[in-house]
Amino acid sequence: MFYRLMKMIVAPLLRIFFRPWIEGEENIPTEGAAIIASNHLSFSDSFFFPALIKRRVTFIAKAEYFNTPGIKGRLTAAFFKGVGQLPVDRSGVRGAGEAAIRSAIAVLDGGELFGVYPEGTRSPDGKLYRGKVGGLARVALATGAPVIPVAMIDTEKVQPPGQVIPNFGTRPGIRIGRPLDFSRYHGMENDRFILRSVTDEVMYEIMRLSGQEYVDIYATAAKRQIADDKKKADAERKAAAKAEKAEADAEKAAADKAAATEKAEQAEQSGQEPKETGSA
């Protein structure tokens, strides 16, 4: 119900206000299971992709989006259900990963589309980061489902990180690549080297489709580095401002002292000058 409502209301609005373009939609099978592997530039990715493709696609989302109390919590839950998000309890890293994999396999076993962001989080700066080993590759090898690489284009310009109101002057796009078949690795989902190879192949295709600069570190590490650099820059600015103020205060104190000394000298000189007397 929520999903159909989203398709009926949100999709036309997105087409009217943003005129998004889509290439390669024919690469998504009309039926049967497949894994959608996409880059992740913006929160608005969760609007554009599910709304614009014909088939339903299910992504996973943290359970907190669905069980937060209050009116805002209910609205948030309704939205994520509407865009095909599936709640997964992420308490505990290993448990969260296993829960996500089980959810993905269940969706694919039902012959549906399952969506995943291999980077694990939104890109902090528009670059493409290293795909996380495990979820995507393990699900692909366990189910035999093809992996369809997808590139979201310019969605970070529509809604930059941290911005609530979107920019209506930007026209985003979606570029869908040909399905990747990893059946040659069937039964090897516990081999970490194979999982890395599969993940890297998918990320290469996303890079090729998106034209993004690739950075061979995880996006979470990049976010930490960016945050650390910001803290360092802020600390340096504060230290520079403090030093500048201290220097200004010292200059003012020196100027005040010089003025006081000059005034005292003038007063002293004025007091020592002999008084003029009349002639006899």
Instruction: Give CA–CA dist 118/139, Å, rounded.
Output: 12
CB of 126 within 8 A of CB of 4? no
Encoded tokens for 140: 């692909």
The number of domains in the chain is 2
Query: When comparing pLDDT for 125 and 100, which is higher?
Result: 125
Average pLDDT taken over every residue of the chain: 86
pLDDT-derived band at 217, boundaries 50, 70, 90: very high
pLDDT score, position 221: 93
The answer as to whether 269 is a domain residue is no
Residues 230, 168 share a domain: no
Encoded tokens for 130: 């290293």
Least confident stretch, 7-16, 56-65, 116-125, 261-270: 56-65
Q: Compute the average pLDDT of residues 206-234.
A: 93
Nearest to residue 76, comparing CAs of 84, 67, 88?
Answer: 67
pLDDT over 60 (residue 240):
yes
**Beta-bridge partner residues of 113:** 34, 57
Domain enclosing residue 113, as ranges: 2-217
Residues 242, 136 share a domain: no
Q: Compute the average pLDDT of residues 221-239.
A: 89
Give the helix/strand (H/E) hosting 264: helix 219-272
Residues 202, 223 share a domain: no
Instruction: Give CA–CA dist 157/126, Å, rounded.
Output: 9
pLDDT over 50 (residue 263):
yes
Give the ranges where 128-218 is alpha helix by DSSP (H): 135-143, 155-158, 192-210
pLDDT score, position 82: 66
Residues 242, 165 share a domain: no
Give the helix/strand (H/E) hosting 265: helix 219-272
The sheet with strand 147-153 has its strands ordered as 21-23, 173-176, 147-153, 34-38, 113-116, 57-62, 85-88
Give the ranges where 53-191 is alpha helix by DSSP (H): 64-67, 70-82, 93-109, 135-143, 155-158
Nearest to residue 174, comparing CAs of 47, 75, 17?
Answer: 47
What share of the chain in percent tops pLDDT 70? Answer: 87
pLDDT over 60 (residue 167):
yes
Instruction: Give CA–CA dist 196/159, Å, rounded.
Output: 31
pLDDT score, position 280: 46
φ/ψ region of 134 (left if φ > 0, alpha if ψ in -120 to 50, else beta) reads left
Strands 34-38 and 21-23: unpaired
pLDDT over 60 (residue 231):
yes
Q: Compute the average pLDDT of residues 256-272.
A: 81
Residues 176, 82 share a domain: yes
Residues 59, 90 share a domain: yes
Residues 187, 223 share a domain: no
